[in-house]
Amino acid sequence: MPEISLSIVVILLVSGLFVGFINTLAGGGSAISLTVFMALGLPVHVANGTNRVAILMQNLSSTATFTRKKLIDWNVGLRLGIPAILGTLVGAHIAVTINERIFQICLATVIGLVLIFTVFGGKIFREGSDADAPAKRKIGPLHYLLFFLIGIYSGYIFVGTGFTILLVAMGLLGLDAVKSNVIKNFIVLLSMPFSLAVFVINGDVDYAYGLIHGAGNMVGAFLASQYAIGWGAKFMRWFMIVVVLVCLADVVGLISIRSAVMAIIH
């Protein structure tokens, strides 16, 4: 792994800013994080663990802003956060023991699915209404089960977790787009420390990369939660399509982001 030069710091900060902005508005930005970390020379497991440092910092920033704006439904967030926490512990244990090649195949598959959803799931990017509108449906056993399963997936690979939470919150709970985004960030904040702890115990975290990238994430999350929650989603949809296409091309070997990054570094 190369030393942390000024060029690496800039790459981590700028990519982190984009990721924080994207994840706060919708999801899927971790595809960028994992691609950048691996391009900088981190092994897959370490990239997966390091990403969680940045995600935790990002969601601290966005949730703090949402709390000041009184947008968080604490009852819904805490009730759905508990099964997500339990699930994320299971998923993280799977992630630190699974074969690296299998993980890379899963990553390519997930990034492809994120691309499909970004292209055809425009409703989540377009829709928005009064953040104070009440939930249309009560939370039941199915929702607890789904958030437990989402937690497993989040603990394992995380990429696209935001999309999944938005789908359940909007499609099955009847929450509007703004409230769903807020709940998504809050639940990720609750569950992320638990999966991160599993990676820390297994030595799969690069703290320097994670903290620098996370600083960028926090700025992006602040900007999205403060200014862009009402107007930035359409733009981010098309921006995400381009970004995810590039990440997918890198994972399947059509291009090499690592080569481009190393060229910048040197």
pLDDT per position as a tens digit, 152-195: 999 998 877 887 887 788 778 887 777 888 898 899 999 999 99
Nearest to 111 by CA among 218, 224, 226, 30: 30
Q: Which of 137-141, 161-165, 233-237, 257-261 has the lowest mean pLDDT?
A: 233-237
Q: How many CB atoms lie within 10 A of CB 254?
A: 10
Residue type present at position 192: M
What would the two tokens of residue 207 be? 């703290």
Phi, psi of 210 (to 5 degrees): -65, -45
By percentage, how much of the chain surpasses pLDDT 90? 32
Q: What is the reported pTM? A: 0.78
Q: Which two tokens stand for residue 252?
A: 């399947």
As given in the structure block, the two tokens for residue 54 are 């940045």
Calpha distance 50→120 (Å, rounded): 30
pLDDT at 229 over 70: no
pLDDT score recorded for residue 134: 45
What are the DSSP calls for 156-211, one per residue? HT-TTHHHHHHHHHHHTS---HHHHHHHHHHHHHHHHHHHHHHHHHTT---HHHHH
Distance of alpha carbon 38 from alpha carbon 97, whole angstroms? 18
CA gyration radius for the chain? 17
**136-147: b (≥16 Cβ within 10 Å) or e:** eeeeeeebbebb
Residue 52's H or E segment, with its range, is: helix 44-68
Q: Classify 70 in phi/psi space as left (phi over 0), alpha (psi -120 to 50) or beta.
A: left
Residue 211, amino acid = L
pLDDT one-digit tens code per residue, 48-101: 999 999 999 988 988 998 898 888 889 999 999 999 999 999 999 998 887 777
**Mean of the per-residue pLDDT values of the chain:** 81
- Tens of pLDDT, residues 107-132: 778 777 767 776 776 555 554 444 44
CA–CA distance, 85 with 71 (Å, rounded to integer): 22
Closest CA to 40 of 3, 85, 76: 3
Q: What is the pLDDT of residue 135?
A: 46
